[in-house]
Amino acid sequence: MERKSYPTDLSDMEWEILAPLIPPAKEGGHPPTTDMGEICNAIYFHLKTGCQWNMLPSDFPPRSTVYSYYRKWQGQGVREKFNHTLGGQVRSKLGKSTQPTALAADSQSVNTDQKKGMCMVLTDVKR
């Protein structure tokens, strides 16, 4: 039986871009039996809808499996790689450089020195 389609599902083109960014399974372990595309679809569904993990629709892989990959990939920075890669693709299609050239920060996101009222320099900004 085919799974219901959700608006958060990855397109074939998006999956083609993201698939190489998924870390390979550990050597010597049991080979994965779950479709990684379906894991990504379930994670995107969760992130977009804000549903609880136990509220994932039953036509996705088991929620414990999805959550396990989510936590593992979160620690490995996989989601950031996904966002960076897709963001670069969008910027490229718009005729822009894949890397932004400016950084904007509002007053609530910049630490200030209470005594002198001067902004502290942001040294860990990633580009």
Q: What is the pLDDT of residues 57-94, one digit of tens each?
A: 999 999 999 999 999 999 988 888 888 887 777 777 77
- Average pLDDT of the residues in 29-47: 91
Check pLDDT > 70 for residue 54: yes
Closest listed residue to residue 44, CA positions, set 60, 27, 20: 60
Question: Facing residues of 112 across strands?
Answer: 119
Helix intervals (H) in the chain: 12-18, 36-49, 63-76, 78-93
Check pLDDT > 90 for residue 26: no
Check pLDDT > 70 for residue 113: no
Question: Facing residues of 76 across strands?
Answer: none
Check pLDDT > 50 for residue 124: no
Longest dimension (CA), the chain: 66
